[in-house]
Amino acid sequence: MTLHNRTVRQDVRELGTLLGDVLEEQTSRRAFETVESCRTTAIDYRSGDLESREPLATELNNLSPHQQRVVARAFTTYFELINLAEERERVRSIRTGSQEETLEDSLETAAAELAETDVETVQQVLEDVLIEPTFTAHPTEARRKTVKSKLRTIATHLETLDERLLTDKERNQVWRDVDAEVTSLWQTPQVRKRQPEVADEARNVQWYLENTLFDVVGEVYDELDDAIDEEIGHSLEIPKLFEFRSWAGSDRDGNPYVTPEVTANTLERQREVVLEQYRTQLKRLSGVLSQDGSRIDVGLEFEAGLEDDRELLPGSARTAENRYPGEPYRQKLKLMRERLARVGDVRPGGYEEVDELLEDLEVVAKSLRNNGAESVVDAHVDPIRRQVATFGFSLASMDLRDHQQKHTDAIAAALEREGIDYHGLDEDERVELLTDAVLQDEPVIDLTDTEGLSEDSERVLTLFDELGDWQTEYGVHAIDTYAISMTEEPSHVLEVLFLADQAGVVSLPEHCGLDIVPLLETEYALSGARRIMGTLFENEAYVQALEARGRTQEIMLGYSDSNKENGFLAANWSLYKNQRRLGEICDDYDVTMRLFHGRGGSISRGGGPMNEALLALPNSTVTGQVKFTEQGEAIAEKYGNPRIAERNIEQMLNAQLRARLYAEQRPEERVDEEWIEAMETMADAARQEYRDLLESEGFVRYFEQATPITVIEDLDLGSRPASRSGERTVEDLRAIPWVFSWTQSRCILPGWYALASGIDAYLEDGGSEETLQEMYDEWAFFRSTLDNAALSLSRTELEIAETYAGMADADLRDRFFPRLSEEYERAAELVTTIGQREELHTRDWLGENLERRNPYVDPLNLLQVYLLDRTHRTDIEERTLRLTVKGIAAGMKNTG
């Protein structure tokens, strides 16, 4: 059976040829020949036909500013198109693997493992699992929305060519449309002319939820249901396994543009989007449920529900009866659509809770089953029920977030009016004051009295004042989580509890409308986890809040800042250790822990294959519930294409089901003490080497001179500022531009630096390569850590990085670049030795990917260096420089 008509090589070749034709048509033959010359020269060097890149650099440097811009645009557009070709190849691989039953990490393989235990355990594992991807607006998406839209259209045409049987005439028509879209893409500005607003970021997240995930989730549930029936032979109840959450429009940390008004507008728009989706689905269902009421018995429960709706909406009921005489299901669906239209409306009769809609769908399903229409329920009703259970009336529940210092300052300002010097209290005194305030009935501060306060403090108090109104209007579940950045003391958590109490969102012991989530990201916070969490779990007020939230404590771990502070290896080990520690603390206090992994798209910020990451977590931390951030270009890559989105979710679910089963069977992960000691030695030495690099005199200047950080800070990637205070220090710089800058210069230092120093310290201390190889083979954490470092090492190009280093002052270059090079070379040697392989990476597709891409990234890198090194740039050169950043990001398929 032939599933596909094309290959990735064919797609790359024909898209490249088409782009060349468009380039010549839109510019000139000379421009086309210039781009071709740069392309072939870059390929000649990579293939060994040239001894150096000097001819390419000379050619690029001698071009006019206009010609340089054409070259930058050509290679940037090339990568945008080639990324589509590779996406199509991923889809081919998924479809072929599914047909041949060779897909790894499938739901069938998860069901097969579950089948090896008893049915009760399987049901318990299913009940325990809840996966919460959380979409953030962190500015790591370099492409404009307009550009993404055009590329998505081209992707749809490629799918048609690949998967449909077309006549020659039809095929020519499709290519005509591709030609038109590529031409339009060439004429469209690649670089944003304005900074995105928060509303833009929120709409971007909503697009993926509405256009991809809304349909895909139901298919994943169906696949799991079928797999369990096939492997286990019992009809088990599949509970809610996914919940999507968002920070877009509600994450205030470092972003002054996320106002209460923006949050309110985001909540309203999300509700409108999801309700319209349900109305559309019910309208479609109405086309299916055309049963004649005189030939079936709909049942007493259905009749009673329909009669209740008629009494609730008499006018709409008459319309339904006139439009659908004798068709009870259609009448019911018409009234259900009307009730959805009245959610949040001044008119009565709307659904008050999402459970009411689920009950109506269950009544319809039960009636159909009783009339022998089980297949209709499976095909048409159950998918809607899954969607409603997953997306509710909010599409994605929103998390609030802000920096702990903002809460402290706002409370201090408000309490000062009451004669209390909050800033003057020590930690124990703050905890006591906040606890007493939460437990007493009368409010302590007036959240509406913000006159004379700083802008930040006014914003904090206003937010909490409006939070109660939002929960009343949209439901508690629509916005019920508050993450606290840089949590380092118990009082930082109690401050949010206090503010929520003053707002009426918390009323203990009966009600707590917030999960309060400490974000532990500094070494001080992580090492003090027992001090922080233990104090909270013994605090009278906080214990009541925990009880009201089902004794579940969400704790967020910050991968990005931990890496930037400690380096790759030390950060990974610290996070692993502290996850185990947090699991022990929660077990000691009989609290269910939900870890929230603050992961970024790049390896250095916690990225990498999600299914492997989930399986590498310590068993003691796998409670079944897991939450993680999805951000930037990773969202587009994972969720832009429905088939890839489905596969991504399937792999997550496979990993989490298996991880929870393993945790049930082996609650305490057995890790050899010798391995623990080895990791301690390696991590300590790696952290020392990494910190020594960052704190070396002149390193910040080297970073500024040898990477395009100054350009990246000015790019309109997102609504949030690039640094916290505008200072040029590594500590103050946000993790995203820090990683983005090194990625652009092809020296992906945050993903591997000090790994070699750490391993060598262990070997010099008497350790053996054999032990490290054993750790790699048998310990998922260590294997995942080294494999992720290998990905960053594979994408690093020292020759290109050396060209960037050439821009730095000679003394800085001579001090730092050899140090980075030696660390890289030794790390590459150690990773291949420990992994017992010849290549750095273990993925064949990555080798093909790099071979295909590297020659085309080189001209953009060399052109970027030339422009960065110019003392004065014209406007066109400035625009070209910014375009090279976009092009390299597309070529590397990664920013920060």
What is the SS3 assignment for 10-69?
Answer: HHHHHHHHHHHHHHHHHCCHHHHHHHHHHHHHHHHHHCCCCCCCHHHHHHHHCCCHHHHH
d(CA 600, CA 616): 17
Compute φ and ψ for 730, nearest 5 degrees. -65, -40
d(CA 336, CA 326): 17
Pick from 395, 388, 393, 396: nearest CA to 281: 388
Strand partners, 401: 251, 483
- 547: tokens are 């009880």
Cα torsion through 76, 77, 81, 84, rounded to 10: 60
- 694: tokens are 């960052």
Cβ proximity of 119 and 236 under 8 Å: yes
- 235: tokens are 């009809």
- The total number of residues written for the chain in this structure: 896
Taking CA atoms, 120 is separated from 124, 236, 619, 622, 791, in Å, by 6, 10, 20, 19, 40
**Residue for token pair 């409006």:** 466
pLDDT (0 to 100) of residue 603: 44
Three-state DSSP at 191 gives: coil
Confidence of residue 350 (pLDDT cuts 50, 70, 90): very high
pLDDT digits (tens, 9 = 90+) for 632-662: 677 888 898 999 999 999 999 999 999 999 9
- Say whether pLDDT at 189 is over 90: no
pTM for this predicted structure: 0.89
Q: Is the peptide bond before 618 cis (omega within 30 degrees of 0)?
A: no
How would DSSP label each residue in 534-593? HHHHT-HHHHHHHHHTTTEEEEEEEHHHHHHHH-HHHHHHHHHHHHHHHHHHHHHTT-EE
Average of per-residue pLDDT across 444-461: 94
pLDDT digits (tens, 9 = 90+) for 205-261: 899 999 999 999 989 999 999 999 999 887 788 999 999 999 999 999 988 899 999
Confidence of residue 895 (pLDDT cuts 50, 70, 90): low
pLDDT digits (tens, 9 = 90+) for 276-334: 999 999 999 999 999 998 899 999 999 999 999 999 999 999 999 999 999 999 999 99
pLDDT digits (tens, 9 = 90+) for 827-841: 999 999 999 998 887
- Say whether pLDDT at 336 is over 90: yes
Three-state DSSP at 810 gives: helix
Confidence of residue 786 (pLDDT cuts 50, 70, 90): very high
d(CA 178, CA 266): 35
How would DSSP label each residue in 625-689? EEEEEEETHHHHHHHSSHHHHHHHHHHHHHHHHHHHHHHHH-SS----HHHHHHHHHHHHHHHHH
Strand partners, 251: 401
- Say whether pLDDT at 375 is over 70: yes
pLDDT (0 to 100) of residue 602: 46
Average of per-residue pLDDT across 569-576: 91
Confidence of residue 560 (pLDDT cuts 50, 70, 90): low
Confidence of residue 691 (pLDDT cuts 50, 70, 90): very high
pLDDT (0 to 100) of residue 605: 42
How would DSSP label each residue in 100-132? HT--TT-HHHHHHHHTTS-HHHHHHHHHH-EEE
Taking CA atoms, 412 is separated from 418, 426, 434, 466, 495, in Å, by 10, 13, 12, 20, 10
Pick from 225, 262, 257: nearest CA to 241: 225
Higher pLDDT, 560 or 755: 755
Confidence of residue 606 (pLDDT cuts 50, 70, 90): very low
pLDDT (0 to 100) of residue 812: 97
**Residue for token pair 């293939």:** 47
Cβ proximity of 76 and 890 under 8 Å: yes
Q: So which residues are the catalytic ones?
A: 138, 564
Cβ proximity of 261 and 214 under 8 Å: no
